[in-house]
A and B are shown apart, each in its own frame.
Chain A
Amino acid sequence: MTEEPEEKHEEGRQFLPNHLVDEVGVVFLITGIVLVVASLLKPEQAGLPHIFFAGALEMMSAVAPWFATVVLSFLIIFLFVLPFVDRSEERHPMKRKVVVLIILAAIIMWIAFTILGF
């Protein structure tokens, strides 16, 4: 069985009630922002999800469908099994160059296809 690595935490602030009060404040703030935005803009303007799919749509038209299927499936499976692929104890991104490069390439690809397709 793998041992859990020791983690050193700097002494922080009390969760109850100090941090919880702040968290509740953030909840109200986010809810307030959504309510105000929704009251200022028309419902059909909440069409931002197109940003999430523009990349996939563009990719489908730019490359062969089987290639898009392979790339997307690879990314999903890679993300899911990441803790078992990157088993080193290093947590700093500069010391995990291979996995960081793979994810960076995926992000750049997604942004590029989204810009092309939007």
Chain B
Amino acid sequence: MEGKVGGPASILTRIGGIFTKTRDWVLSRSGLVEFVEETEKKKVPKHALNPMFCLGGVTLVALILLGLTGLFLDSYYEPSAAEFTPNQSRAAHSIETIVDTVPFGAYVKGVHGWSANIMGITILLHTLRVFITGSYKNPREFTWMSGVLLLIFTFTFITTGYVLVDDARSEAIVETFSNLINGIQNLPLIGGALDWLSAWVNDTFIGSSITGEGVLVRAHWIHTTTLPLITVALLVAHFYLIRKHGISGPL
């Protein structure tokens, strides 16, 4: 129905026209016309409207929240095992400062922690869903492999993030990692030959002490630089492959 000139319907029509023109201008300038036209033709299969097919998306939302809150936290965090007081390292003290002194610090740290919990749980459930529906099969082998790498890196994120807190449980985590690596040299038959591997990993990532300065500095570097770069690259590959091969059919 045509609205009167100057009436509410006419204003809405004008706004709609401006929106369409702006959209067309942005698409033509950015070269995304074909991409959007192709996406407009896409349909989501009925079986994929199940919430279990949403878990990958929820994991991504949690990762974005982790990135945003992580940037904030990192601007106050000090990756140093040096003593601040006899019972507290500078790293632990900087976390205490974030929680007690920095405006909204406790809240942002809470969002970071809960997002990590959600991400850990949803990526496990997402992997389980893909496994149960057999969606890793031909032609989605690379999609699965990039997903498994993302799963491993998610838990490396959680592990290194936990180490950065620098409390008793952080030490337990580093000790577990160290024991797992030392386990290599005790392997029956091949352990002796792999001695160099456990020594190299231990020397490189842990150093002389599991509570030492080196552990914190390297965990911080891995958590804030290496892992984000690798994860973003893998995510791009994962999404490209999902778009290329589409969602797997119903069982």
Contact = CB atoms under 8 A, between A and B. Distances in A.
Question: For this complex, into which size category does the number of interface residues on chain A fall?
Answer: 35 or more
A91 B144 CA distance: 14
A31 B65 contact: yes
A40 to B, nearest CB: 9
B139 A4 contact: yes
B161 to A, nearest CB: 8
A92 interface: yes
Q: What does DSSP make chain B's interface, helix, strand, loop or mixed?
A: helix
Question: For this complex, into which size category does the number of interface residues on chain B fall?
Answer: 35 or more
A38 B111 contact: yes
Given A76-B152, A90-B134, A10 B45 contact: yes
30 contacts: A4-B138, A8-B250, A10-B46, A13-B46, A15-B39, A15-B40, A15-B43, A16-B36, A16-B42, A19-B49, A30-B61, A34-B62, A38-B110, A41-B110, A43-B106, A46-B109, A46-B113, A46-B117, A47-B169, A53-B176, A56-B180, A65-B183, A66-B184, A66-B187, A67-B183, A69-B187, A83-B141, A86-B137, A87-B138, A89-B137
Interface of A: 2, 4-5, 7-16, 19, 23, 26-27, 30-31, 34-35, 37-39, 41-43, 46-50, 52-53, 56-57, 60, 64-70, 72, 76, 79-80, 82-84, 86-87, 89-93, 96, 103
